[in-house]
Structure 1
């Protein structure tokens, strides 16, 4: 199916999506209001509305949220073969300032979306029918992010409790707090007194079951740490109840994340861009998944456009002679920005990336500024790779001269 151009579209349907119901406003090319009312978040009503509007000519549906509560509206429109667009929230709020009144209502927002689609086509992002792989990757990657945050929070809580009741023990096992052997120990022997009663031999045997290469060493470190404190800190009794539950929770979260990562890995490896993206230094399975989900279905005219979309392009501010300079952007796709920044950090092991980073540091850039510059430079490489489907090639290094 050929997607109509903006000049060919006759009906502009703006939908301010909601959990239970949407407000929809449809306007013709001349600005005549064809529809303006609330409708339920229901497939049947959405189909009826789109069927009615397409009688006037080619139609585009534009939403303010293409995922979560707006996913059904987008899916129905795509299934019915009409064009679908997305008006980003920041753009919408800026456009809303051009309209009279300070009220913010669903009806007004839907009218603004429809009118923006009619008069400001450059502000609308086209949404193509996303393939199954990308849709599944997006859900799984989001869940993986949630699990990672929960793992961090649970680990920090466990660190805090151990530090409170026995600082020396926390120092001995802190680096390995998430290791299955340590979690198993804390789940069954949560207090220093219980671990002390085990003795070195039984402790080493237990740890070696899940950490055969370092079980004996860990047992020695733990035994030494336990002997450094004889006083029982207030709160140890309560910690005896909480620590096993935290250890069990952390083990469960890690198992869940391993299962999710296995599914993500299978989907990523089946994607045609897998060999291209993973050829870049510092880009692994999770980074590849995020790059695919955050760039799929989007068109970038230049590498600078990609960098700006990721929030890595510097923002120039000039006004006469009083305001001059470039500043770090606070906008852009934060998920894509984060993975590109972290991949730049991981890529410091690559000689070419390290050389570029060192040159930026020699120019007086801070650690963070040099990493952002490296991430921005990687957008140039990523853009070329996505455009041409080529494997990563290191930039030619500058001559000694």
Structure 2
């Protein structure tokens, strides 16, 4: 029995289909316990009508998400839940009609038919543990806060460039605690020029800076240097905007630090943490992101290639006639590929094998990004082997095959 579930925030359009493509039932169900109970009742009634007493009926559900209480309830009920990429569903819908018409009920029909005809090619929702789900929640929140801090820092930089360019010369890190403290105290060029060495030095000390006296003099000199500016009324308006941005950045700094502690705590309790941390380039935060995005379902990735394909590090081959090219994957998990690329870059300093592998790619003509992506792809394979066998990373074992090829 095949179920298409087109979900929205407050309801689900559902269609149930049999193996021949015949519609058995359709309904709009409310989100929550009441809607789930109606779905169970609808499926149960159809199973009772169409199945023998001793026959097991598998219910496959196609839905364009792989998380949330509704999906968890479907899995807990024993349904086989297939996560359908919205891009896949849109292209499948185009195969069934060319008018461009679209509706929620129609999307439910498309999902049910897609599960019926292509269910063997769709990815089941992973059976991840509650522990790794918790790691994912805090790791994603932590990274989101960092991204938000970067966005607000760039907004602060643009504002200062427009009315207070001296601040950009005086302060290296705009989101640092001492910078935010001094800018909050003196958000205009005139006020900043009146800051004393003692005031600047006190802020630097609270931020635990080195060479406080020397840096305080340099900051004061830059703030008192001549720069182009804006009329007073415009400067006052910019100062108010900057103070608002400073307040947001101060809160973000506090919450990023708090969430970092949560990430480290949840990740440290996971059984696979020791293996993940043994990988080159992975610390508690980056390791938590990698583990969270891959999940810990032992049956999800049958081979290293499957894990690499999900990671988006393996290339896509396009071949036609005599022409064959290998391209980077455009569709991927942004959070995962960001973590893996960072791991690869960090591993260059900590793993001789990773460094040698990267250098060989560069020698073959690959650019920095391409070589880094190939290194990340190799590191994903190493991680897969370690997780499958339950062993820690070993430098000699991980790169022995490549060392033999170079020697040959």
Deviates more, 1:244-253 or 1:206-215: 206-215
> What is the alpha-carbon distance in structure 1 between the residues aligned to residue 197 and residue 381 of structure 2?
56
- 1:165-314 correspondence runs (5 A): 165-173=163-171, 175-211=172-208, 213-229=210-226, 232-234=229-231, 235-296=234-295, 297=297, 299-314=300-315
* Preserved CA contact (<8 Å) 1:208 1:216: no
Distance 2:229 2:340 in 1: 47
Q: Give the TM-score taking structure 1 as reference length.
A: 0.88
Please tell me whether residue 19 in structure 1 is matched to residue 20 in structure 2: no
SS in structure 2 opposite 1:66? coil
How many Å apart are 1:186 and its aligned residue?
1.2
| Match runs of 1:1-400 below 5 Å | 11-55=1-45, 56=47, 57-67=57-67, 71-102=68-99, 103-173=101-171, 175-211=172-208, 213-229=210-226, 232-234=229-231, 235-296=234-295, 297=297, 299-321=300-322, 323-350=323-350, 351-394=352-395, 395-396=399-400, 397-398=403-404
Q: Answer whether contact 2:304 2:381 (CA < 8 A) is retained.
A: yes
Worse overlay, 300-309 or 272-281 = 300-309
C-alpha distance in structure 2 between counterparts of 1:230 and 1:124, whole Å: 61
Look up the SS of the partner of 1:98 in the other structure: helix
Deviation at 1:324, TM superposition (A): 2.6
Asked whether the equivalents of residues 15 and 24 of structure 1 are also in contact (C-alpha less than 8 Å), the reply is yes
Task: Name the residue aligned to 1:3.
Answer: none
Q: Is the 8 A contact 2:14 2:27 kept in 1?
A: yes
Distance (Å, rounded) in 2 between the aligned partners of 1:202 and 1:269: 41
Alignment size in residue pairs: 386
Question: Structure 1 residues 271 and 18, CA, compared in 2 at 3 Å: closer, same or farther?
Answer: same
CA offset digits 1:72-96 (Å, max 9, x no partner): 3312223323332222223323333
**1:276 touches 1:392 (CA, 8 Å); kept in 2?**
yes
Question: Offset of 1:400 from its aligned partner?
Answer: 5.3
Distance 2:92 2:239 in 1: 57
Q: Contact (CA 8 Å) 2:184, 2:246: kept in 1 or not?
A: yes
Q: Deviations over 1:225-281 (max 9, x none)?
A: 123216653343223322222222211101011111211111111111111111111
Q: Structure 2: 5+ residue runs without aligned partners?
A: 48-56
The 1:231/1:336 distance shift into structure 2, 3 A limit, reads closer
SS at match of 1:155: helix
Deviating more after overlay: 106-115 vs 296-305: 296-305
1:171-228 superposed Cα distances (whole Å, 9 cap, x missing partner): 221x232221221111112223223323223432343233353432321111121232
**Where does structure 1 differ by over 4 angstroms across 4 or more consecutive aligned residues?**
398-401
SS of the residue corresponding to residue 318 of structure 1 reads: strand
Task: Give me the whole-angstrom Cα distance separating, in 2, the residues matched to 1:333 and 1:12.
Answer: 28
Q: Cα distance 1:210–1:337, how it changes in 2: closer, same or farther (>3 A)?
A: closer
Contact kept, 8 Å, 2:165 with 2:227, in 1: the verdict is: no
125-134 vs 382-391, greater mean Cα deviation: 125-134
**1:187 and 1:245 in contact (8 A); partners too:** no
Secondary structure in structure 1 of the residue aligned to 2:324: coil
Equivalent pair of 1:207/1:216 in contact (CA under 8 Å)? no
Counterpart-to-counterpart distance in 1, 2:133 and 2:203: 43
Is the 1:43–1:72 Cα contact (8 Å) retained in structure 2?
Answer: no
Q: 1:25 to 1:224 in 2, by over 3 A?
A: same
Aligned partners of 1:66 and 1:384: how far apart in 2?
Answer: 26
Distance 1:157 1:30, change over 3 A: closer
